[in-house]
Structure 1
Amino acid sequence: MNSTTLAPRPVLEPLADGVTRVDLRPRYEGSNICTWIGFKHVNYLVEEAVLDHLRQRGFAPGKLYERHGLCVDVVDIDSRITHAFHIDDVATAEVRPLPGDALAFAVEISVDGNPPVKAVSAKVRVELRLDPHGHPAEPVPAELAPYAVARLGQAPVKVTSPAAAGPAPEGDVLAGLTAGRNAYAWKWRIPYFYCHFTERMQMSGYLRQMEEVVDLFLADRGVSIKRLLDEQDWIPVVPHSRITILDEARMEEDLYTVFTVENVFKRLTYTSRMDCYVLRDGILVPTATGRITHGYAVIENRRDWSLVDFDDRLAGALEGAPAAPSTRR
């Protein structure tokens, strides 16, 4: 797992060893095609398992914030899905600490069965962000003080953009982000319901962003989700996704999201990268980056599907020349 380079810190004893377990059910909202659960809601299960682990170890996220002004932020989530979830499944999650970082965890989730079937393997990292608002709070406990940070992610990394010399038309920024790339870009205002702790976009917001930019990209290339469902009974499936927060994106800022197809492998899967930026003082500041792998499956009945090779239309759309940039508010 890539993470910010950190100075050595003392071991956080309550999190240093041991495994926690929790039973979870996927949310009904995630059952979009038949009864299968999409990758975003699978990652929600991973996140919930880590939060429950912290609660069981005496670090309930709500109390950390309310008493000490410490915000628990998931800043990296890397998940591999090996078995489909259905809406009525019971998921059993096991969380264990990863060596070398007291705030990094391995998560394994199994689907209830006889025997249970391993469905997800993930690695997650959290940070304890000091609340920037001036409300009174009790001192941060001594054992947590070495882990408290004033800002999420790495030191700000700035990328020169077409707007670097001053404000530029929106389309020029989007065009600059996709120039010479097999990519799609859009601009979007961050609403409060993608944020938490009163201020900034949270990991689940970036998962939603990744899901939507794929949908917009496919529609832009003429192979929308609905079109392939209507014409071929095909759906996209996700075996792997990862998102890393690099810096903070704030409520009501404009987020520029770029989706770039990196590789189409033997017409079986394709891998893509998502990069997110905010524009500050004429400079594009990266706030998150991620990768996602897709395959396609044909619906066989209301419960089963099987993987298919890409046909010429889909392969051509994925490998095609960059499309015109798009704006969506």
Structure 2
Amino acid sequence: MNTPATTLEAPAKVTTETVLRPRFEGTNICTWIGFKHVNYLVEEAVLDWLRQNEWPSRRLFEEAGVGVDLVGIKTRILHALHIDDEVRLTVKASVGENGVVAKVTAMVDRDGHEVKAVTSTVTVQLREEDRHGDGASGVPGFLLPAVVPQITSIVPVPANVPADAVGELKTIGRGGVSSEVDARLRSGDRPAVVWSWRIPYPYCHHTTRMQMSGFLRQMEEVVDLFLEERQASIRTLLDEQNWIPVVPNSNIELTGEAIMEEQLITVFEVLHDFKGVTYTSAMTCYVVRGDELVPVATGEITHGYAVINDRRDWSLVDFDERLLTAVRG
């Protein structure tokens, strides 16, 4: 902390270790932690990498004039996490032209042996906060390559789409939903939904921007709406078959900035299924600007299904005719 920022050209710690427990909010089914809260653990471990290198997000915002933005998070879940688990997360990070790239590994104890539960790759950019001053000033040397005037996409950006591609929507949950999705908003002809709603204040950070946790929530909720539209709602399968969806893989990359109170258009489309055991879907998020839909995030998520055996254990199942119809059309 006493070293002048201008002389700090390398992180003090390339690799850090953080021990965390999942939040109670994430125990949606029995005591298992959903994929969103698994990603929250990953996010917190990356933030702690900055903290252990003496430049936590608060200091970067208040003193250096940049906001910490997770612009990519790609996660693989190898073992389910439970509430009250003590999770040891190791972060090894480097800084390059795309930002801070952090490789995260999460370990957890199972029957006296530590097993690898989660692996993740996270990309972080430091966005200049000129709204509250003169932008970046005093960013430490080891983080300078991560500074951007606006969020910069780390993946190919989808094209803008005319706003009239969003047709008539019905009210379901929050906002409007339709399973009749314009061809301009999709890559194939597998089942899909389009969902429109207004970006609320709680999904944003650094005053106005929708943050990664907001897009994780978006991915979680659009799946729920998709299954409802396909007559395979989560509640229905729980009540009738004791089945739950499980997520082994997910990723989200920001391709632009979504601003508080903009209209967010989310398209969720099945890409393929694997032998009736898992299915992978794509999510693309747009905001309405004038007469165009401007892409702000893309992602993919893979789901399987498990039957709840008891309060502690579940086991994977093959899709039945209802689920196959839902994901294949």
TM-score, normalised to structure 2, is 0.87
SS in 2 for 1:219: helix
Counterpart in 2 of 1:8? none
Counterpart in 2 of 1:242? 251
- 2:93 maps to 1:93: no
Structure 2's unaligned 5+ residue stretches are 1-7, 170-176
- 2:75 maps to 1:79: yes
1:139 deviation in Å? 2.3
Aligned to 2:234, which of 225, 231, 235? Answer: 225
1:141 deviation in Å? 3.0
Structure 1's unaligned 5+ residue stretches are 1-10, 321-329
| Distance across 1 between alignment mates of 2:328 and 2:168 | 26
Q: Percent identity?
A: 53
Aligned to 1:304, which of 297, 313, 321? Answer: 313
Write the deviation string for residues 211-258 of structure 1: whole angstroms up to 9, x where unpaired: 000000001111000100000000000000000000000000010000
| Distance across 2 between alignment mates of 1:35 and 1:65 | 36
Report if aligned partners of 2:209, 2:260 keep a CA contact under 8 Å in 1. yes
Identify if the C-alpha distance between structure 1 residues 80 and 12 changes in structure 2 by more than 3 Å, giving closer, same or farther: farther
| Distance across 2 between alignment mates of 1:241 and 1:252 | 26
User: RMSD between aligned alpha carbons?
Assistant: 2.4
TM-score, normalised to structure 1, is 0.87
What amino acid maps onto 1:153 in structure 2? T
Moved more, 310-319 or 95-104: 95-104
Aligned to 1:110, which of 79, 87, 107? Answer: 107
What amino acid maps onto 2:90 in structure 1? E
| Distance across 2 between alignment mates of 1:185 and 1:273 | 12
| Distance across 1 between alignment mates of 2:66 and 2:200 | 22
Identify if the C-alpha distance between structure 1 residues 123 and 169 changes in structure 2 by more than 3 Å, giving closer, same or farther: closer
What amino acid maps onto 1:259 in structure 2? F
1:156 deviation in Å? 7.3
1:145 deviation in Å? 3.8
| Distance across 1 between alignment mates of 2:272 and 2:158 | 26
- 2:276 maps to 1:278: no
Runs of 4+ in 1 over 6 A off after TM superposition: none
Identify if the C-alpha distance between structure 1 residues 128 and 100 changes in structure 2 by more than 3 Å, giving closer, same or farther: closer
| Distance across 1 between alignment mates of 2:119 and 2:140 | 33
- 2:150 maps to 1:151: yes
Identify if the C-alpha distance between structure 1 residues 161 and 40 changes in structure 2 by more than 3 Å, giving closer, same or farther: same
Report if aligned partners of 1:188, 1:256 keep a CA contact under 8 Å in 2. yes
Report if aligned partners of 1:66, 1:137 keep a CA contact under 8 Å in 2. no
Report if aligned partners of 1:67, 1:137 keep a CA contact under 8 Å in 2. no
